[in-house]
Structure 1
Amino acid sequence: MHIKRAHKRILFIGLLLCCFLGFSQNNKQQALENRRLELRREIEKINALQLENRSKKQSELSKIEDFNYKINVLNNLIKVTNQQANYLTREINNNQKKVTDLRAELKQLKADYAAMIVKSYKSKNQQSRLMFLLSSDNFKQAYKRLQYIKQYAAHQKKQGEIIKLKTQELQDINKDLLKQKEAKNALIEENRKSQKDLEAQRAQHQSLMAAINKNLSRYTAQIREKQREADRIEKQINAIIRAEIAKSNAKAGKSTSSTSFALTPEEKVLASNFEANKGKLPWPVEKGFVRLGYGRQPSLINKSLIVKRNGVLIATEKGAEVRTVFDGVVSKIIMIKNAYPVIVIRHGNYMTAYRNVINIRVKEGDRVGTKEVLGDVATNPATGETLLSFIVYKDSNTQDPASWVNQM
């Protein structure tokens, strides 16, 4: 009895494990498909923006940034597509094994069923059911023979149903196999095109780098100048942030030297809601891609030169609207010499800054909602580039926007 229970328990655990593994594999495949589609959309955005700027005099440094980003996206797309193809290969192999096993099982079932029919036919010829019952020695034996006849007929019927179900199962698996092979072939074809695109992008990148390397010192000087300009603007924004923190502490009767906001109960709720949406915030523009990421990183043309960004630089389309990523209050609109304005939105002890904005539609003190339009992204008249700098702060410290904004 205990052995039977143990066997049942092992069987139950095995079934649960199979279900879990199947569920886990399906989830993994869906995650890969979602990621592949996301990367495809990213490439489409890059292509559209490159096409828009093709007639403009885009700088070599900007072109390198675009090429570098697109090459990274294409590499990721090829990697994800290969993973999907490998999963499909494993599924196809598993299903092919199931088909082989089912065919062998069906062959044996049909052979057993045929033998059963022949035996039943011979039994009917040799002795009728009635004679079989009447020849019983007693009622008990006759009853048992009757039960045997019924069980034999039921077994015969059950065998026929099993064969029918197994045949249907085999047909379904074959249909799945066909779909999986078609899906795999489509992925292989997509990867072939992506690989071709990647090779073309690398060739253009190498050609441009060769031209840049001939006058590397000039381009290095340009990068340093851009870094100084970015540092100058970010220094002004940081000063405004610190002033806002000091203002909140003074209002609360606390030390103005504190590096953290003094929050009202309402601001605490807002900050908590902002935190709860980490990784889910919408983009500050409807269409775009991150040309330059957050933090310290080697220059794309001179690895010995380290560049630093407090936020991310987003390339978008001409006339793109700037949208706030979460509910908040317009804390400051900063007018910067030789640059376009910066709008700072406060979300409790979090702040988001949007730099390079024109046609501003809000004023300081306004309450704004998620995705509310703040203005338009300015377009450089010389290069035709439309770039938005986006920064996230927690108190006086910057955060990586990619960890806050959905699929950045």
Structure 2
Amino acid sequence: MGGWWPWRIPWKRRRAWLSGRGLCGIVRAWERATMTQQHSPCHGAAGTLHVTLDELRERGPLFHATWVAIGNFDGLHVGHQRILKTAVAQAAGGAAPVALTFHPHPRAVVGSGAPPALMTLAARSACIRAFGVQCTVCLRFDADLARLPATDFVQAVLVKGLAARGVVVGENFRFGHRAQGTPQLLRELGHRLGFAVTVVEPVRCGGDIVSSSLVRRRLLEGDVEAAARLLDRPFRLSGRVVRGDGRGRTLGFPTANVLPDPELLLPGEGVYRVRFWRDGMEALPALAVISSRPTFTAGPVALEVHILDFSGDLYGEAVEVEFLDRVRGIVRFRSAEELRRQIQQDVAAARARFAADGQGRPQPAASSCGGPRA
């Protein structure tokens, strides 16, 4: 009998194909990928799914199978990044790597109030996706979720809602009513309910355990370079350009008055060397001042940015300010002329530093997320 037939292939090669290393394996891999996409509510969307506990209970599994990284992920510091990278690396058997986060911050519901955020929820989701996570599930943290016992949280959210085959958390992860759930309990429940659990050790930087609280503390101290080491990238603050009193222009240094997103943390008062990111455009070298303007009539703390060698109308634009280093603290000057001379010195120092860094000209657009490195 002529032609090509499977039985003409030696048995060892046929067994390899049938066991998944040949055509059958390719087909199965394609089926797993297709099934994951078909069962992913994030497929073809922005990559974020906002759900409540009731919706998870009513809708059943949102995915075919997942490998879940759990955390608040505010700021997406190097500790968070390790958790995400671990989940992406471990995801197997057609399981989609998914991040489970919470909004609002749990302390807004069960504590004394949420701390100021390091990034908006949209920016957080975009950065999470940059690490290879297919979908960010943002679970609304409300009184019902806060009252949910730890075991019920695992059953309702991880098993029934997300069809978790694996879960990755940090050592300080707590869950369930009164935060009674621990990584050890999660391991026990995973063994009983059929999902793997990986507990990632904390990352240390300069002897300190990296955390969102530590990042906030460094920013409030004005140490934006230390914050950048914790984040693995410079801190960025988003906002919109609004009209000010024009005082910078009268001093010869026009500024863009940036109104930050109200939920975000503003670094401590000072003069900073920054990059000014216009929406969809390049980064411009600039000098930023965060102060209450003590030389004049003191008022609320504001963010003003003088863009080097720039002329144009920015009013109403959505922008980001990326903090590189702190030039000096805030001083109350005796006159406007004394302040003007100091600004001249600040601008000259910033220009020299940008030139030394090779960044004296506008830079092309780039991601504000660390992302995996080759």
Q: Which of structures 1 and 2 has the bigger CA Rg?
A: 1
Q: TM-score, normalised by structure 2?
A: 0.25
